[in-house]
Structure 1
Amino acid sequence: MKTLKIANIPGDGIGKEVVPAATEILKTLSDIHGGLRFEFTSFPWSCEYYLEHGKMMPEDGLERLKDFDSIFLGAVGNLKLVPDHVSLWGLLIKIRREFEQVINIRPAKVIDGVRSPLLNPKDFDLIVVRENSEGEYSSVGGKIFQGEDEIAIQNAIFSRKGTERAMRYAFELAKKRRKHVTSATKSNGIFHSMPFWDHVFEEVSKDYPEINTDSQHIDALSAFFVTRPERFDVIVASNLFGDILTDLGAAIMGSVGIAPAANINVNGKFPSMFEPVHGSAPDIVGKGIANPIGQIWTAKMMLDHYGEEELGGILLNVIESVTRDGILTPDIGGKYTTKGVTDEINTRLKAIDKKGNNAEFIIK
């Protein structure tokens, strides 16, 4: 029996509502599989934790997390309590950077029953591979002077190792999909880093002659996400460009509430982290209407990461059967609650295989 040790960090806002929902679904999936066991340990690290302790996680937080197979994160941030740059760099980005989660992947596709804001979405199905450790989000830089002479300098860092690593990940992913990789660039406006990005992309593509490629400037690419998203398969992008494109991808699906993400450690030294794209959504906290699909789809990505693609595919199919039948939360035009959607997904999963009583599921 395979046991996956998962660190649950519900975090802030609706994270505390959707993580338990997705955890319930994973319990049912373990029963269906029969040879898969989950062991969850929850950590209360959040903005509320910061108010009590003066930090987003304890000093030994990373040490406590490093031996888990994965981290299952809900949401981070509460501007009323803690500035975003403090909460994000103290928890989310700290985990990403120090656990070498150098790749971020986020899919976007037409989901049956969820209305896209696009007039004709044409069944788009794409995935963005985002370099997740450097680029425009480096912490290199600083400020000098005061008043009207004040200057802020932010340095973008692009290493060959980091750039090539993201591109090779994208090409390997494309081999399993429709065999096309698009590079997001801006070499007509950014003088050093983007021509370098283009050069590395051209070099890496030579090692994958079976994969078709193209390169698009980020402004045009953003427009094509809206006008022709069906043309894309795998898109590889820098940290900033990937961040922007994936929020746009969530928007054309119909709601950021259904969008999943994975932060991947590729060297096996540390756990990967799985989180939905949405934030803590303080405006709907406690109302019971948060969309659980983003977190549940994120669980599907976690299963895929551990080679359980068949089980992950079952889960996504069941999610789409539920949305197809109009069982939707208010953000995507429905009237169902978080619990109502979760219960329906759970019920349909259980109907697939009622013999799953061999797996053990533990929540500490």
Structure 2
Amino acid sequence: MTTHDIAVIPGDGIGLEVTPAALQVAQAAGRRHGFGFGFTEYDWSCERYRREGAMMPPDGLERLSGHDAIFLGAVGAPGVPDHVSLWGLLIPIRRAFRQYVNLRPVRLFEGLDSPVRSRIDLVVVRENTEGEYSEIGGRMSRGFPEEMAVQESVFTRAGVTRVLDYAFGLAARRGGHLTSATKSNGIVHTMPFWDELVRERAAEHPEVRWDQEHIDALCAKLVLDPGRFDVIVGSNLFGDILSDLAAAVAGSIGIAPSGNLNPEREFPSMFEPVHGSAPDIAGRGVANPIGAIWSAALMVEHLGHPQAAEEIVAAIAAVLAKGDVRTRDLGGTAGTEEFTQAVLSHL
């Protein structure tokens, strides 16, 4: 039997609650399909930062590099600035392991209420290692009237091309339509460069229909008519915003999964729910585990078991369609454990 070696970082807040739920479901799917998991847990978190002054140890990336995949619960806690928690753990992992595709599927499941009346089944492909989230810049004259901050965006031909090729390839396997998020009417250098590369890569994928939308108009259209979209590709910042917006339109950010992918599989990929650590509900057992369970399904698919992954998502869909077991963010009363057990029963 194939056994996959998974690094597990539950992290902070509700990450400690939804991570065990997701891994339970992954294990159940594995038993049905003849594969298993070995889990190595790391206590890298804001609690560790408070205790030891760092989110992870100096050899943290080296430890992770030997695993088949990484599962992350959530990062963030009151009293620890977000830029400390993210740049001390999440972003170094993404960049060291060249996880340049951030994959965020969005779907309106039967039985869920949505602010819109539309079919929703799309994927946001976010560039994940450069763009607006660069380390280039700084602050000067702190505390003086002329204090200033400079943050540089970095768009490379190699970085943009590889994420576009992934997005066009995904669109070819799905509905055959790709939308590029841009803002070239206002951002004068990086976005026209992005647009040029989209046109170049589109010529290599004639089977895919494509268009482009300015990010402000795209946000409006994603709310008014999300059913028109199939694959949306965007820069680091635009993809981040669009995927959270789309998840909210589909019912709750608590259901949103993500995969930080190294498509060449030279390094481990990392899978995490989008919802964050939610300290206001942490420890109460009420967190929605769907985002984590769906992220586990993305991990299972990435590890080479597409049918098992489909069954996990189908189990989520079946529980939601039945309608008697829902967490509070979806209008129900079920806790994390009750919803997880309902998914397991369908598996």
Q: Normalised by the size of structure 2, how large is the TM-score?
A: 0.98
Decide which of 243, 253, 257 is 1:246's aligned counterpart.
243
Shift of 1:269: 2.4
Shift of 1:289: 0.5
Decide which of 248, 273, 279 is 2:270's aligned counterpart.
273
User: Within 2, Cα distance between the matches of 1:219 and 1:258?
Assistant: 24
Decide which of 130, 151, 156 is 2:153's aligned counterpart.
156
The match for 2:51 is 52
Contact 2:120 2:250 (8 Å CA) reproduced = no
The match for 1:355 is none
Moved more, 265-274 or 177-186: 265-274
The match for 2:114 is 116
Which string of whole-angstrom CA distances, capped at 9 and with x for unpartnered residues, describes residues 194-240 of structure 1?
A: 00000000000000111100010000000011001001010110000
Contact 2:30 2:308 (8 Å CA) reproduced = no
The match for 2:329 is 331
SS of residue in 1 equivalent to 2:145: helix
Which string of whole-angstrom CA distances, capped at 9 and with x for unpartnered residues, describes residues 262-281 of structure 1?
A: 00112322100000000100
User: Within 2, Cα distance between the matches of 1:110 and 1:70?
Assistant: 27
1:1-364 correspondence runs (5 A):
1-34=1-34, 36-80=35-79, 82-118=80-116, 120=117, 122-146=118-142, 147-326=144-323, 327-349=325-347
Contact 2:103 2:259 (8 Å CA) reproduced = yes
Which amino acid in structure 2 is aligned with residue 93 of structure 1? I
Which string of whole-angstrom CA distances, capped at 9 and with x for unpartnered residues, describes residues 303-337 of structure 1?
A: 22123111111111111110111211001101101
SS of residue in 2 equivalent to 1:148: coil
User: Within 1, Cα distance between the matches of 2:298 and 2:336?
Assistant: 20
Q: Normalised by the size of structure 1, how large is the TM-score?
A: 0.93
SS of residue in 1 equivalent to 2:280: helix
Moved over 3 A (4+): none
Moved more, 328-337 or 259-268: 259-268
**Number of residue pairs matched by the alignment:** 345
Which string of whole-angstrom CA distances, capped at 9 and with x for unpartnered residues, describes residues 22-58 of structure 1?
A: 1111111111102x12111111111111111110001
SS of residue in 2 equivalent to 1:312: helix
Shift of 1:11: 0.2
Where structure 2 has 5 or more consecutive residues not aligned to the other structure, the ranges are: none
Moved more, 69-78 or 95-104: 95-104
Shift of 1:141: 0.7
SS of residue in 1 equivalent to 2:72: strand
User: Within 2, Cα distance between the matches of 1:308 and 1:253?
Assistant: 26
User: Within 1, Cα distance between the matches of 2:130 and 2:41?
Assistant: 29
